[in-house]
Every structure is written in C-alpha cells, then in structure tokens.
C-alpha cells in the first residue's frame, strides 16, 4: 500500500518529464540553460504538495501537507569540481499540515511499584492531527546543472503547530505528567532537483528525512525519530 501511494505521488512528475518534447522545432530559439536563470540574486517561488510516512516505531504514521516555497540564490557558482554550485536561502509555509496515526486505543503497559510488577491497560490518543507548519530556514546548495536539470542538497529546520498535542500519547488529566505538545520542531535533510520545462519554469522534486520533536516542551517527548517525505512542486523563476 505504501509503495503504491508513493508511486501515485511521483507519477505526475514522471509523466510531465516524459511528455516534454525531445527537441525544439527547427528554427525556434533553444531554452537558456538553468544557469542563465539561476544567476546570483534570482528568486524562485511556487506551490507544492508533500507526502510521507514514519519509520521504525512510527511506521504506522503517514503525513500530508500543501504549501508555498520561496527562495533566493545568494552566490555565483563557487567550489571545486563536482561540488561546484550556488548557495540559496529559502523558506516554506504550509497552511495545511496533517498527520494520520492509529485510532485511539487501549495499550498494555507494565510498571513497578513497591518491588512488584503491575500490568494495566491505558488509553492512548490518535487519529488525524491537523495544523500549520513553517520552515523559515532552508539552506540549499544548487549543484552544477545540465541543460534542463539542477540537482541540490539541503538542510532545514521548521516548526509545526497542531490542533491536538502531537504525537499521540497516553490520555491523562490536564496538568499530570504524560502529555506531549502542540508545538514540535522539524530538523531535516534532503536531496532533490529542478527540471526546467520552460525557460523560467521548473518542476521541483525533493526527498527529505524529517525528525519531529517538541524539544521537551511537553511533559513527554516521544517524537517521531525519522520520517521519509517526498515533495513535488512547480516553480516560477524571476
């Protein structure tokens, strides 16, 4: 099911690339290479959709969000050999961010009191968590491009607010230890590329490894140690 979901997510990107004309009509001016568009000071902006899933003990979690991306190329190409590239600073706003987790349920737990091990069932929250997310710092390195493609690597950090405390945790009365937080942070690392479909238009694809943690803003911080998230966007360059 997960492989099919990722296939459906990536299919529009593949179809867009394959359907592009293999060559220009005779006499038509060729598109400029990406380097001509991504000169120092160039701006990029556009919408995107993002989907992914948790790993390890969070493999039952899945994620979806939509938002807008904006970035500014700050340098001319610098660096040696295959590492030569341009530094870009970017940010993203996601007015819709959702996490899908198992429905509320009872979970078996054990604890030791007075030297005796006890067993109990405790209610755990769950379901769909909705919120907004902001990634104000994206540090991107755009590598040397081909005529159509610009690969990049990036590191980023952001913040999520959700309508219920995330991730789901034991249900306890307010003020009693055992609560998580409506605020979580999202340090992340990713790789991706722009594929130019027009002189100043590109499709952007990014694969991110995202960690979600409240930094102990709540009484508990179980977090999401790692999730894999795939982003597909459309970009205008200016």
92-124 pLDDT, tens per residue?
Answer: 999 999 999 999 888 888 878 888 898 888 888
What pLDDT, on a 0 to 100 scale, did the predictor assign at position 220? 84
Residue 158: count other Cβ atoms within 10 Å of its Cβ.
Answer: 22
Is 80 exceeded by the pLDDT of residue 28?
no
Closest to 165 (Cα-Cα) out of 120, 101, 211: 101
Two tokens at 87?
A: 């530094």
Q: List C-alpha distances in Å: 56 to 11, 38, 53, 207.
A: 26, 39, 10, 18
Separation of alpha carbons 226 and 223, rounded Å: 9
Sequence-separated (6 or more) residues with CB below 8 Å from residue 198? 31
189 Cα distance to chain centroid: 9
DSSP assigned state of 14: H
Average pLDDT, the chain: 87
> 15-24, 100-109, 198-207: which has the minimum mean pLDDT?
15-24
Confidence of residue 25 (pLDDT cuts 50, 70, 90): very low
Stretch 44-71: mean pLDDT, rounded?
97
> What is the per-residue pLDDT across 140-149, written as a single tens digit (0 to 9) for each?
999 988 789 9
Which of 3.60.10.10, 2.40.160.20, 3.90.580.10, 3.40.640.10 would CATH assign to domain 45-237?
A: 2.40.160.20
Separation of alpha carbons 39 and 1, rounded Å: 42
What pLDDT, on a 0 to 100 scale, did the predictor assign at position 14? 46
pLDDT-above-90 percentage for the chain: 61
Stretch 204-216: mean pLDDT, rounded?
96
What pLDDT, on a 0 to 100 scale, did the predictor assign at position 205? 98
pTM for the structure as a whole? 0.81
Two tokens at 183?
A: 């605020």
Domain definitions of the chain by residue range? 45-237
> 133-137, 168-172, 203-207, 227-231: which has the minimum mean pLDDT?
168-172
Burial of residue 9 (number of CB atoms within 10 Å: 0-12, 13-18, 19+): middle
Confidence of residue 2 (pLDDT cuts 50, 70, 90): low
What pLDDT, on a 0 to 100 scale, did the predictor assign at position 24? 44
What three-state secondary structure class fits 12? helix
What three-state secondary structure class fits 26? coil
């Amino acid at each position: 099911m997960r492989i099919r979901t990722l296939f459906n997510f990536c299919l529009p990107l593949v179809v867009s690339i394959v359907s592009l004309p293999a060559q220009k009509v005779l006499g038509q001016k060729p598109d400029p290479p990406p380097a001509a568009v991504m000169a120092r000071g160039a701006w990029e902006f556009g919408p995107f959709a993002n989907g992914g899933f948790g790993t390890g003990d969070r493999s039952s979690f899945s994620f979806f969000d939509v938002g807008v991306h904006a970035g500014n190329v700050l340098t001319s190409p610098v660096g040696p050999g295959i590492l030569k590239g341009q530094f870009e600073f970017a940010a993203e706003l996601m007015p819709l961010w959702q996490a899908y987790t198992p429905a509320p349920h009872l979970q078996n737990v054990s604890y030791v009191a007075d030297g005796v091990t006890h067993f109990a069932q405790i209610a755990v929250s769950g379901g769909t968590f909705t919120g907004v997310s902001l990634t104000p710092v994206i540090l991107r390195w755009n590598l040397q491009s081909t005529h159509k493609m610009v690969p990049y690597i990036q590191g980023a950090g952001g913040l999520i607010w959700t309508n219920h405390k995330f991730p789901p945790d034991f249900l306890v009365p307010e003020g009693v230890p055992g609560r998580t937080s409506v605020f979580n942070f999202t340090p992340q690392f990713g790789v991706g590329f722009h594929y130019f479909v027009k002189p100043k238009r590109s499709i952007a694809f990014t694969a991110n490894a995202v960690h979600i943690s409240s930094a102990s803003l709540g009484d508990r911080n179980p977090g999401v140690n790692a999730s894999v998230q795939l982003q597909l966007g459309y970009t205008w360059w200016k």
